[in-house]
């Protein structure tokens, strides 16, 4: 009768050891999770500061609108900062027939904090089937933003959009191709 009892005790002792090892393991795991959360939160803080406070951003892009593209291609710009931004002197890139930059406005045009502005490209300026990055240049000639290369072969109102609206501080380069939201929040 004692043999099964010993076996049971051994089993209990072994289980206790397992429990302790498991606790040590999960303590390490919990510490790792806490460390990751701390790093994530601190980078989120930095990201929101650097990405949403400094400059105008490209928020949505229509490369291939339904029907004829001439005078119908556009980009939606968003002012995520706390202050007004005058569009005068800002430039956006184009990809057809050559590559270069166009002035977003030839006169003073102020976008309030949180405001948007839709720039319609004059003529035919964007290649549909060949991916190109979009670049935004400030009045001092600094390229403040360069997107991933985008193309649009669906001749409809689907557009490339930052998601969520204005961009996620943790996933700055997250863009979705979805039904257009011209001059409205991307969601």
Task: Write out the residues near Ca ion by the rule CB under 5 A.
Answer: 60, 64, 69, 76, 126, 128, 152, 158, 181, 186
d(CA 32, CA 89): 48
Q: In angstroms, give the least distance from the CB of 111 to Ca ion.
A: 14
Q: In angstroms, give the least distance from the CB of 88 to Ca ion.
A: 23
Beta-carbon-side half-sphere exposure of residue 98 (alpha carbons within 13 Å)? 3
Beta strands in the chain (DSSP E): 57-62, 74-78, 85-86, 91-94, 100-103, 110-111, 116-120, 135-137, 143-146, 158-162, 175-179
Q: Which is nearer to Ca ion, 105 or 181 (CB)?
A: 181
Q: How far is CA 185 from the centre of its chain?
A: 14
Q: Which is nearer to Ca ion, 126 or 136 (CB)?
A: 126
| Cis before 82 (ω within 30) | no
Q: In angstroms, give the least distance from the CB of 49 to Ca ion.
A: 23
Q: In angstroms, give the least distance from the CB of 35 to Ca ion.
A: 37
Q: Which of 187, 141, 183 has the alpha carbon at shortest distance from 168? A: 187
Q: Which is nearer to Ca ion, 5 or 68 (CB)?
A: 68
Coil, strand or helix: which one is 126?
coil
Strand partners, 145: 136
Q: Which is nearer to Ca ion, 103 or 176 (CB)?
A: 176
Coil, strand or helix: which one is 150?
strand
Q: In angstroms, give the least distance from the CB of 99 to Ca ion.
A: 14
Q: In angstroms, give the least distance from the CB of 94 to Ca ion.
A: 10
Q: Which is nearer to Ca ion, 104 or 126 (CB)?
A: 126
Q: Which is nearer to Ca ion, 9 or 179 (CB)?
A: 179
């Amino acid at each position: 009768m004692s043999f099964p009892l010993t076996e049971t005790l051994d089993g209990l002792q072994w289980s206790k050891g397992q429990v302790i090892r498991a606790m040590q393991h999960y303590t390490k795991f919990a510490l790792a999770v806490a460390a990751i959360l701390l790093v994530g939160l601190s980078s989120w803080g930095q990201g929101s500061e650097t990405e949403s406070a400094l400059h105008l951003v490209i928020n949505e892009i229509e490369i291939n609108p339904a029907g004829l593209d001439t005078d119908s291609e556009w980009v939606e710009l968003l002012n995520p900062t706390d202050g007004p931004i005058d569009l005068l002197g800002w430039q956006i890139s184009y990809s057809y027939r050559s590559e270069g930059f166009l002035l977003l406005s030839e006169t003073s045009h102020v976008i309030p904090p949180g405001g948007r502005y839709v720039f319609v490209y004059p003529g035919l300026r964007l290649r549909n089937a060949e991916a190109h990055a979009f670049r935004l240049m400030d009045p001092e000639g600094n390229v403040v933003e360069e997107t991933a290369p985008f193309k649009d072969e669906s001749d409809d109102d689907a557009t490339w959009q930052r998601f969520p609206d204005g961009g996620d501080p943790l996933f700055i380069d997250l863009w979705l191709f979805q039904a257009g939201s011209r001059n409205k929040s991307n969601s």
